[in-house]
Structure formats: structure tokens, C-alpha cells
Structure 1
Amino acid sequence: MFTALCIRIFDQSIRDYHVYNDIHRVISNPYEKSAIEHLLYAKNWIDTVQWHLEDVVRDPRIDPVKALELKRWIDRSNQERTDMVEYIDSYFLAQYKDVQPQAGASINTESPAWAIDRLSILGLKIYHMREEATRPDASEEHRRACQAKLDILLEQQRDLSAAIEELLADIAAGRKYMKVYKQMKMYNDPSLNPVLYGQKP
């Protein structure tokens, strides 16, 4: 199953990040660039770094200049995340390019890669909730509450995986078809963001 591969690669990326637990660590992708595993690993690495950026930027004692630097880093990361989703969807478009949609075939509310994006974020939630559920210095009440949340996250991972597998099967059989809409983000584009194109040189 494709989602089993995703979960395995995402788990590997998350574990690799936490060897050093450093937002400045340069990625070392262990997979060949031509492999889908390379894209999945790169996608989750971006998500994992951004997860920790979001933690750091919420430090109430953070220097405002440092916070602005991190906010701009997060903006760049969001664009990279979007680009990576589109690369993964391009993989699926190539996989299913010869499938003829059936009469009455419908389009899904999201593409396969955007559903996989949610699976990647879910992997991070599971990893960190498991840490909280087993944190030695936390109270028993805290650990119990986090274990209950972890159980729900694991159920959500199973349900989302099943939904993705069903979507891929439907696309392969022509019951559904997919399109990729470029996200066309505006805030990072100097020609589209009024604040940027309105600035004087």
C-alpha cells in the first residue's frame, strides 16, 4: 500500500531529524532523486523543520528581530511545502496518465498529494504526542490525557490511510480523476503582493 510506504518514510525522516533536533541541520536525503521515496522524505523533512520553527517562534522571550527572521523562514518553508506537494501530484499524474476516466467519473475535493500532506503532518503529531504520553517528568494525569489523544491520532492515521488508498484505487479504475492546480501563492510574489510591488527602490 502506498500509504504504508509514506508512513514508513515519514517516520524515518522524523527520527532522523530528532537525532540532532536542530532546525539549522542540512538535510541528508538517503534516497535517489528519481525515486518517490526521495520526494516523500524531502516533504516530511520540510514539515518537521517547520513544526519546530513554529515552536521556537512562540517563545514569549524571543527577540522581535529574531522572530521576524523566523517568520520569513516559515513563509519560505510554506512555499517549499506547496512546491513539494505539486511534485508528488506530478508523480501521480504520470502514474495514471493512461487511465481513461469512466463516464460520470468525479473529481475529489483534494488531490492525492494534499491528502498525503495531511498524513505527513499527522506523523509529526503522533511522534510528539507519543513523547508527551511517555514523558518521565510529566504527571500521570498529563501522560494519560496525552495517551488518549495519541489513540485518536493513530485512529485518524488509519482512517486517512484507508481514504487515500480508496482514492488511488478509484483514480486507477477511472471512477475518479485528478487535476493539479498550481497554488499561485501571492504573498511571496513581488509582482502580486501590493506591499512588495508598492515599495520604492
Structure 2
Amino acid sequence: MTQNSPPLVLPPGLARAIATLQDKDLHRLDDTVTRLHTVNGRLWDTEDRVRGALLSAAQVADCKREIDQLNAERNALAERADEVLGSLADAGRADAPLHTETLASVVDRLSVLTLRIWHSERAATRDELARRRVPALHGQREELCAALDALVSDVVAGRRRLPVPARFKLYGRDDAAPAEIKPSRHLRRVLAFGGLSECGKSTSAEFVQRTCGAQRLKIGFLLRQAAHREGLADPYALSARRQAELLLGELNRFADAHVDTRLFTIESVHDDASIAELKALMGDTLQIVYLDASFAVRVERSGTPAQAVAAKDEIKMSRGAHQVAALADHVIDNTGSIAALRAHLRRIAAPSAATALRVATPYGLGLPAAGGGAGGRVPETVRGRSPGGRLAPP
């Protein structure tokens, strides 16, 4: 969603009804409605972007694909919200009048209206027509909140029934319907290296490749490959979620083509939003490694002027590279020696496995006859010890 976009505030009647739900349902609904509002914000931004006069035909096509995907996600989230909100209804009143829309549909309308008010207020400083619309928009929001609370009251009391929440939306061909992508069974483990300029990302990936046999990949390469495959002109113009799906799709293809590879590395993580979405898709299969080093150390190691490093930092930070640290599974302080860095990387890339002990007699160890015979008498002697610790008599 656009930076500093407004939160979605639910009307008091609905908030009170939701508070009666079980904790599990309450958390699920909160997450779903939050994501729905976020998707609506992304839709608004993408629809604004596609109206740009300087966009090429390929860029317009990219925006259209993103809008279709976001609309599909929007409808799926609304249906998921209705699965929870529907439990507020009094199921015993089958003869109650049927309402025209579900509770989530009204919440979705409230989300869009909240965004419209916010954008109109921003435009009001330079647009007189927008300024005059703002009071009317606030009035619409008050009326919608009051109507939603009245509907919730009727539904809970059994005075109103809600329609079936399934929307049966189609976006393109039936076989192109969006489905959540999951990691391939061959994609066992991925390390994603992030950090600012000259922090040691490439050095770390090269070391893991050399010592652990990892398949080393670049995020930019993966996105370009996916864009070519999907017919996209600019994958970086897509939403963070869509970029993550493209990345995972390419990782799956590499893993399926290299089934013996147990570890992949990807670099360089410069976008906190897309890596957060990728983490949500992959879970613990993806381990984010953030390499931290002071500006002075990075300048010294780079062998370039400080202003050159600062300029690269500025570009990366504008994309959220510095915020990846908050998402990282491992943060490495890379201001020390190369040996210290390698020790950290070994622990992350090849964590120690539990050692299984096997009990065997000395006769099975391939010792000389004399040694095997003498060793064989040791456990017998130990077992023959008395409780007091002295050897038992022969």
C-alpha cells in the first residue's frame, strides 16, 4: 500500500460483534481484513500507475496483469473474511429476509471509501473540486458505517440472512486461475544474503558455494528469467507479492532441474517488501542472512571513494535494503576477520546434525586377535563390578 496510507477503522457495532469470536477466528479475521485493505491500496496505486501518459504498451500490459492478480486476491480475501463473519449470523432463522451483500463486501466497500477519502484530502491542497468533495465523502463513510452496524445487529439477531459468500470470479482462462505457489519438494534450503554495499554478500555466497556445494543465484537474474517466461516487460514494477511468486517459481524450476542440490543461495536482497513476501511463501525453507558492517569498514574494503559507496547505499536504502535486517533469521557482524565470517557461515549453511551412537563389541572393530580378546574382557570386567565399586571375585 502507498506509504502512510490510512488504517481501516471498523464501525463500533461490528467491532463489538467481532470481539465475541474465539481468539483463533479473531486473529484470522484481523489478518484477512488487514490484507484486504492492503490489497485495495495496491490496486489503487497500480490503477493510478497504468494511467501514466508515458507508459509503453508493454508496461500497460504488466499493470493489467498485476491488476487482475490483485483483484483475484481481493476476492479470495473477501471470501475468507466472510467465512469468519458468517459465524455471527443466527443460523436458526431461515425465513429471515435475505440481504443483498455479505458483511465482507460492505467491509471491502468501506476500505475503498477510506482510501478515496485519504487520496481526496491529499489532492484537496491543489484541486478545488477534490476539496469540495471531501465533506461529502466523510458523510458517505458515516452512512456506510451506520448501515453496516445496523446490518450486523440484524444478522446477529436473526432478522436478516446473508447471501452465499462465494464470488465465482474468473480472470482469464479457467486453467490460469491464480493459486498460491508453494516450494517444490526438491527445494530443500535457500540462503538469501542481504546488506548494504560492500558488506560481504558476494564473498559469503561464493564461500558457501565452494565449501557446501550450493547453487549460487542472483535475484535480478531470477526475476529477469521469470519476466521473460511470463511475457513481462518490467518485473520490478509489479507488487512485492507478485515478485516473490516469480522468484519462488524460478527457484522451483532450478530445484526440479538439479534434484541433487540441497542448498541454494540468492543475492542480493535489496527489497524488504518482496523478501518478506517470499519468506511468507517459503517459511523456514528460506533463511535470510543479513551482513552488517560499518560504513568506514565497507569503504576501506571496497577500495573506492567514500562517496561512491554512499551513492550505492542511497539507492539500496531507497528500496528498503537496510530494513531487511529486521526480517533476517541471521544477522552477522562482518566487521571482523574473514575467519570469523566463515565460521558464522559454516554454522548457518551446514548446521551440525545429531550424531547417532552405535554400540558394538570389540570383535567387530577389525582389531588384531590379541587386542580384540583383551578389549572384549573390558566390558565383562565392568559388568562384574560390585555396587561398591570393587571388582567381583573371579
TM-score normalised by length of structure 1: 0.71
Q: Which amino acid aligns with 1:105?
A: A
Unpaired runs of 5+ residues, structure 2, are 1-8, 16-24, 178-394
Residue 168 (structure 2) pairs with residue 177 (structure 1) = no
Residue equivalent to 1:153: 137
Q: Which amino acid aligns with 1:47?
A: N
Q: Which amino acid aligns with 1:107?
A: L
Q: C-alpha offsets along residues 77-115 of structure 1, whole Å, 9 cap, x if unaligned? A: 00000011111111111233x54216x411111111111
- The correspondence of residues 27-106 of structure 1 with structure 2, limited to 5 A, is 34-96=27-89, 99-101=91-93, 104-106=95-97
Q: Which amino acid aligns with 2:93?
A: P
Q: 1:61 to 1:113 in 2, by over 3 A?
A: same
Residue equivalent to 1:123: 114
Report the count of equivalent residues: 160
Q: Which amino acid aligns with 2:66?
A: W
Q: C-alpha offsets along residues 178-199 of structure 1, whole Å, 9 cap, x if unaligned? A: 1324222233343499xxxxxx
- The offset of 1:5, in angstroms, is 9.0
Contact 2:117 2:137 in 1 (8 A): yes
The 1-side partners of 2:157 and 2:14 are apart by 22
Q: Which amino acid aligns with 2:106?
A: A
The 1-side partners of 2:14 and 2:123 are apart by 24
Contact 1:107 1:177 in 2 (8 A): yes
Larger radius of gyration between Structure 1 and Structure 2: 2
Higher normalized contact order (CA 8 Å, seq sep 6+, divided by chain length): 1
Q: 1:35 to 1:182 in 2, by over 3 A?
A: closer
Structure with the bigger percentage of helix: 1
Contact 1:108 1:178 in 2 (8 A): yes
Residue equivalent to 2:174: 190
Q: 1:74 to 1:183 in 2, by over 3 A?
A: same
Unpaired runs of 5+ residues, structure 1, are 8-31, 194-201
Q: Which amino acid aligns with 2:35?
A: A
Contact 1:89 1:111 in 2 (8 A): yes
Q: 1:33 to 1:165 in 2, by over 3 A?
A: closer
Q: Which amino acid aligns with 1:122?
A: L
